[in-house]
Chain A
């Protein structure tokens, strides 16, 4: 188990190094380049200036040499300067990371508790009207585009009713904790509803398999109460696949709300990645994309380990 984890960690490290090179190469293929950007602000820049600037920034060197220069600096803790925000990349990323974790964490927990309730209720009575309704709603949740859901919520609660703000993180020029919370409601609702569909289906399927096992019949025959059967006997074995899913979805904690954050102008990591890529902010795009990659890979590892840990039948050499 520890050996397996260690091997996977090494693999993830290798994969991250590979991805950092791939992403570095891809960023170089985006429209425009830094010198063009400088040129557009000063039309008097001559061809000689361009050549000189390229030499100063090392842009006349081959891709691999530039990559190693960047990687060396990054390993030493220097991720460069953000062009869009005019501050060091790290200082830009940290507050937004906190915002994203707050947003994702809240909606993640809400969605999972709701899915647990709905999924268990549906799995206890297969083929009942309740089961059919929950199943259909889950399909609806999977099929609805999250940005459209966000638009509908904005339309209803911000435009028609005027109850909640449609964008941002707080009202300009103040507002206390209540104001912050009001700004969280619509993005959290969007993400919760968007995640509820798949989670409910997972819970329903896992609980249904668990409740069909022989040991459940034994527990019932021995006169265990319904609550004890469902929670103690069925939920325990259903938790194995569910914890795996839960660990996997932690991979979305950083970049999973990209669309929702962009819709609500919520200053989180997803919106930051999008803005950095679209705004030719190379240093920022590189750092944020790599962070998102590292987090999803870590979540995948966590899912594998959780599975091996919880299910004694699974062994990793």
Chain B
């Protein structure tokens, strides 16, 4: 539990401190220096420079900020959307439940990566979104968060629905209802607390999955767009230079790996801690 948490905090802290590092070094992650391309480590560039002479350390830190931001934003959004859908399906029951669960099963049964590639390549201006918005720098961030949310909500929806179904018929819910408690009150105060544990675990797990998804899409050129740095797109550039500058291909991948494995190990540790049935098992 401790090591992954420490590692994750360290990566987050370093990423957030990127502007500070940039100020100390007197350059930023986007500054190009064509006279100093693919350079080795130096005092000015602690991890060397990439194919455009940009500082690798700063780009790694900025990529970390982007990944963690997308991972946590999309995981939270997916947990929220999944919770709403799960509560609605579990509590209302009947055809609402059937329709919502069919939709959930349908999403799970789709080949996600190919369809996400189509969605990521869409021309948003053809959808009638305002041109300023489509061409803004944040659009790729926003788009990935939306895409990741679209695929990640199903776990939370199933968990919450299951817990709601179990809880709904219990005596204390009937007691609450007979005391005149409103439906939202029952859902929030009596149903949700029964599922917070698994929900937290599922959300922690999905952070890792979403970061992997973001890195794949960025690697394929469909995620974060330049000049913004992302671990995935750094690997795309490194692939072409793999014979001459192998280290450029090592760093970003190692960062993805460390971040994702920390999320997964943390989720596993939480799972054991929060599930009383597993107490004492390793």
Contacts and interface: CB of A to CB of B under 8 A. Distances in A.
Interface of A: 15, 19, 23, 26-32, 126-127, 131-132, 139-140, 142-145, 147-148, 151-152, 154-155, 159, 251-252, 254-255, 258-259, 262-263, 270, 273-274, 277-278, 285, 288-289, 292-293, 295-297, 300
Given A15-B109, A143-B264, 19 more contacts: A29-B126, A31-B121, A142-B261, A145-B215, A145-B219, A147-B215, A147-B216, A147-B219, A148-B252, A152-B253, A259-B219, A277-B121, A285-B118, A289-B118, A292-B111, A292-B114, A293-B111, A293-B115, A295-B111
Contact of A15 (B106, B250, B261, B265): B106
B111 A127 contact: no
Count chain B CB atoms within 10 A of each CB in A27, A147, A255 and give the residue with the most. Answer: A147
Interface residues of B, number: 44
A296 B268 CA distance: 28
Nearest to B244: A159
Given A274-B220, A289-B114, A151 B238 contact: yes
Contacts of B204: none
A137 B269 CA distance: 16
A206 to B, nearest CB: 15
Nearest to A136: B265
Nearest to B120: A277
A255 B111 contact: yes
Contacts of A300: 105, 108-109
A140 B123 CA distance: 36
Contact of B242 (A32, A155, A295, A297): A155
B279 to A, nearest CB: 14
Contacts of B239: 151, 263
Contacts of A263: 239
Interface in B107-137: 108-111, 113-115, 117-119, 121-123, 126-127
B249 interface: yes
A140 B261 contact: yes
B170 interface: no
B212 to A, nearest CB: 6
Given A29-B122, A143-B264, A277-B121, A154 B256 contact: no
B176 to A, nearest CB: 34
Given A145-B253, A147-B219, A132 B282 contact: yes
A270 B111 CA distance: 11
Interface string B238-267: 110011001001101100110011011100
B249 A151 contact: yes
A289 B115 contact: yes
Contacts of B144: none
Contacts of A251: 109, 111
A159 B212 contact: no
A277 B109 contact: no
A254 to B, nearest CB: 8
A5 B229 CA distance: 48
Closest 3 A-B residue pairs measured CB to CB?
A148-B253, A143-B261, A143-B260
B162 to A, nearest CB: 16
A159 B235 contact: no
A34 B105 CA distance: 35
Contacts of A293: 110-111, 115
A300 B109 CA distance: 6
A153 to B, nearest CB: 11
Nearest to A252: B111
Contact of A26 (B113, B119, B281): B119
A296 to B, nearest CB: 5
B208 interface: yes
A295 B105 CA distance: 15
A274 B111 contact: no
Nearest to B246: A155
